[in-house]
Chains A and B, each alone.
Chain A
């Protein structure tokens, strides 16, 4: 009886070793595939879904730790959860990439008219400020303060416009449009304060 038990234990131990050996290759493959799949979307994930990336990185690290400990079963068991998280991450990155692409296209469209209009507004203001600076009296509705504000406004508009142009040159149309729109709004206000809005 004792002899039989020892034999059974030996067989069970052997089966366990075989089972473990059988799980090692799939586990190794699982870790390798997970690393490879994640590497392919890491850049986009860092940009658009850093929290999800952090969570899935933690899952991958756990899989690696389990593999290192020889717990291949745990590695294989973690695969469905990892795949599910990876799909969710991919969906998020794809959606946000599409969103960013649409926003960029929209900003590019907005930049075109702004890039033509804003310098002309600034030129018109510069011209009027230069003339009013030579005037012995200011016209009705224009004060010394509004002229002084227009002069300093010109400096800040030119500076912001330069930043907008630099952003556009770098294809950062979102920043370019934001800055150009700010200059346009400021220019509109200055034109109004100098009585340039109506004929």
Chain B
């Protein structure tokens, strides 16, 4: 988890960090599958977006997530 926080800090203000706009039906696991090939890595996305997300199971269409 400390590793995830380091990833989040690096992604925070970096304009070169990829972004993903949440679509209806998306989950962090699905997004992790798309970008990392592994749904278990959803925590990386969650930690990088802690300013937007309080719960990894609650994401809203239209949210622009950082994909570290």
- A interface with B by C-beta (< 8 Å): 117, 120-121, 123-124, 126-128, 130-132, 134-140, 142, 191, 195-199
Contact = CB atoms under 8 A, between A and B. Distances in A.
A113 B41 CA distance: 33
A17 to B, nearest CB: 84
A124 B16 contact: yes
B36 A132 contact: yes
A135 B36 contact: yes
A150 to B, nearest CB: 14
Contacts, number: 62
A123 B10 contact: yes
Contacts of B67: 199
B24 interface: no
A199 B36 contact: no
A37 to B, nearest CB: 55
A137 B68 contact: no
B16 A191 contact: yes
B26 interface: no
Nearest to B13: A120
- Mostly, the B contact residues are mixed
B19 A199 contact: yes
Given A197-B18, A199-B19, 7 more contacts: A124-B10, A126-B10, A127-B11, A135-B38, A136-B37, A196-B16, A199-B67
B57 interface: no
22 contacts: A117-B16, A120-B16, A123-B16, A124-B10, A124-B14, A124-B16, A124-B17, A126-B10, A127-B7, A128-B68, A131-B7, A131-B68, A135-B37, A135-B41, A136-B37, A137-B38, A139-B33, A139-B36, A140-B37, A142-B37, A191-B16, A197-B18
B52 interface: no
Contacts of A126: 10
Contacts of A196: 16, 18
A191 B18 CA distance: 10
Interface in B18-67: 18-21, 33-38, 40-41, 44, 67
B36 A131 contact: yes
B34 A131 contact: no
Contacts of A142: 37
